């Protein structure tokens, strides 16, 4: 089966097996930020953006990417680098295994919610699991990142 989609801004045409998972296709295309974790769609490690919405690539057939825009962390290096500094400042980067899916969800949240509260942040990220921390550092880093973004816009 032939599919066409955009991966991190580049047009891709691929011949795939009908049962190929999106996660496996993305890793074949060199997107190693997309991780296999629980394989039950519960941990968020495989999160990517499909048409700007977060999806779990471990539970989605690659065929569903046909005609879509897929973005992985590899396609958001500048944004991720900026936010990564806030994670590091709060000691929240830990081992880093969960960070790609976590960061993808954060950027999806920022597109969806204009000024998220701490409660909204926690609800939005409830599907991301991290074995290294209790998410306090991550939450602080998100709040500080939001304040930084407001200040950049002259809103703070």
Q: What is the pLDDT along the chain (156 residues), one digit of tens a residue?
A: 999 999 999 999 999 999 999 999 999 999 999 999 887 888 889 999 999 999 999 999 999 999 999 999 999 999 889 988 888 888 877 777 778 888 899 999 988 998 899 999 988 888 887 777 667 888 889 999 999 988 888 876
Q: Which two tokens stand for residue 126?
A: 């409830």
Fill in the DSSP letter of residue 21: B
Q: How far apart are CA 7 and CA 72, in angstroms?
A: 8
Q: Which two tokens stand for residue 35?
A: 């991780």
**DSSP reduced 3-state for 70:** strand
Same fold, 2-74 and 76-153: no
What are the residue boundaries of the structural domains of the chain, listed by start?
Answer: 2-74, 76-153
Instruction: Give helix 99-112 / helix 136-153 axis angle, nearest 10°.
Output: 40
Q: What CATH number labels 76-153?
A: 1.10.150.120
Which one, of 86, 35, 131, 108, lies nearest residue 22 by Cα? 35
Q: How many CA atoms lie within 13 A of 93 on its CB side?
A: 10
Q: Which residues, 6+ apart, have CB-to-CB distance to 40 below 8 Å?
A: none
Q: How far apart are CA 80 and CA 110, in angstroms?
A: 13
Which one, of 156, 130, 127, lies nearest residue 143 by Cα? 156
| Domain 2-74, CATH number (from 3.10.20.30, 3.40.50.2000, 3.40.720.10, 3.40.50.720) | 3.10.20.30
Structure confidence at residue 43 (pLDDT): 86
**DSSP reduced 3-state for 99:** helix
Structure confidence at residue 134 (pLDDT): 66
């Amino acid at each position: 089966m032939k599919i066409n989609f955009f991966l991190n801004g580049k047009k891709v045409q691929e011949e795939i097996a009908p049962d190929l998972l999106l996660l496996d296709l993305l890793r074949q295309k060199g997107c190693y930020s997309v991780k296999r974790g629980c394989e039950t769609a519960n941990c968020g490690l495989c999160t990517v953006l499909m048409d700007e919405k977060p999806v779990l690539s471990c539970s989605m057939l690659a065929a569903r990417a046909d005609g879509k825009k897929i973005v992985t962390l590899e396609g958001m290096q500048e944004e991720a680098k900026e936010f990564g500094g806030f994670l590091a400042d709060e000691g929240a980067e830990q081992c880093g295994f969960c960070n790609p899916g976590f960061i993808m969800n954060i950027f999806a949240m920022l597109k969806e919610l204009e000024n998220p509260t701490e409660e909204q942040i926690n609800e939005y990220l409830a599907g991301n699991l991290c074995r290294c921390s209790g998410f306090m550092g991550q939450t602080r880093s998100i709040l500080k990142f939001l304040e930084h973004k407001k200040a950049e816009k002259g809103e703070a």
